[in-house]
Structure 1
């Protein structure tokens, strides 16, 4: 279900917006009236997304691990859209599935760099524009792994736990500024990110979900879009479960 004009006049940035949950969010924001800037490092995926989304969308190839690239993308987005009212920070990678003591050092740094440092860059870049406009909604994508810690996914679990901490801190910093900052912690959702995981790890994640199934993109999108809307006006620094009953705190 979509809500006509819920985001009319709003300008949104969606990172990782060319595929998966990010693309689902971007599609719904546009359907509900927003103008959306997709930030993604995959140019081919961006081209496909732009072709599918029609009007009121722009696209920027951005490596979020680079502060300079993110700052430049924010500047170009503001020039293109006139401001930034919403950020949905969805970009992320899983990293390899192995024990911590066998975890490749380079892979560890890459996961932390994308999932934590990249998200920090994006939050840091948009907040000044939201402060200038006197309004903002930030939704950071964490994971149930950040609450519970998945075995053989130490870097991913650590990065998502850190996203929860960042969200709580920033939410309190902006609590009196009409800018809310919240996080969503999905269980596994079957998207292209599964291609980065072993089948054993996928089976493990499914076994932990009381509902006995993976989440659907549209289920996560519904929650994200409420948090990104004007209706979410008295909730900030909070973490919202979307895990089929796996985590309920």
Structure 2
């Protein structure tokens, strides 16, 4: 499945992508680069795993749960390229698949730290630069479970609901500074995260998608590219559905 490219849409704008080694992140890096962006591809994995990443101008190791890593990533991008126009946060962890009474506190906290605290740290890191520029675009990976909640996935659902509230709050703070901040709420997508769920869980989740299929990373990349572009000039604080119609039936 492909979508038409808008050649030079980004005209060498600088965009930092987290989770760049994952399915959604990798597809997004390639799409953004093909449309003219200077992409800083980051991931928790070793930079060796990002080497040769199609379209990445700069690859970096980034532990999104650490404020000092965020500062290094943003400072490196600005020092090397002179600015930072966009941030796409594609990282995340599935978290425990269990009823609430069987979830260990450390697993709950780890899920929120990776999925929610990290986005708070990322926004803290990029806002000063974007406000100085009077321009910025931020897109954050949430989930349809952040809107609806998934049984036996309370940690994940809670973290993604928190992302939605964070996006809405900070978008209002930054609206007068030429910065838009939006979230994307996918349902099932063809990524390695599906491998961490049981066959029964995957079947149950797919049964709730009216289109009856799993989404493809290129479909996410197409929406992310628009949210990170100058065309996204009057849309902020929103959660865009990417669920094959699942939320439309709620």
Flag whether TM exceeds 0.5 (same fold). yes
CA drift of 1:195 comes to 2.3
Q: Which residue does 1:68 correspond to in 2? A: 68
Q: Which residue does 1:21 correspond to in 2? A: 24
Q: Which residue does 2:37 correspond to in 1? A: 34
Query: If the length of structure 1 is used for normalisation, what is the TM-score?
Result: 0.95
Q: Which residue does 2:169 correspond to in 1? A: 169
Within 5 Å, give how 1:46-65 maps onto structure 2. 46-54=47-55, 56-65=56-65
Tell me if 1:134 matches 2:137: no
Q: Which residue does 1:122 correspond to in 2? A: 122
Within 5 Å, give how 1:1-249 maps onto structure 2. 1-43=4-46, 46-54=47-55, 56-248=56-248
For 1:65 and 1:146, the matched residues in 2 are separated by 20
Name whichever of 72-81 and 133-142 sits farther off: 72-81
**Over residues 131-150 of structure 1, what are the superposed CA-to-partner deviations in whole Å (9 max), with x where a residue is unaligned?**
11111000011000000001
Q: How many residues align?
A: 246
Structure 1 residue runs of 5 or longer lacking an equivalent are none
Structure 2 residue runs of 5 or longer lacking an equivalent are none
CA drift of 1:227 comes to 0.8
**Over residues 87-118 of structure 1, what are the superposed CA-to-partner deviations in whole Å (9 max), with x where a residue is unaligned?**
00111010121111101221111110000001
Determine helix, strand or coil for the equivalent of 1:185: strand
Query: If the length of structure 2 is used for normalisation, what is the TM-score?
Result: 0.95
Determine helix, strand or coil for the equivalent of 1:175: helix
Over 6 Å off, 4+ runs: none
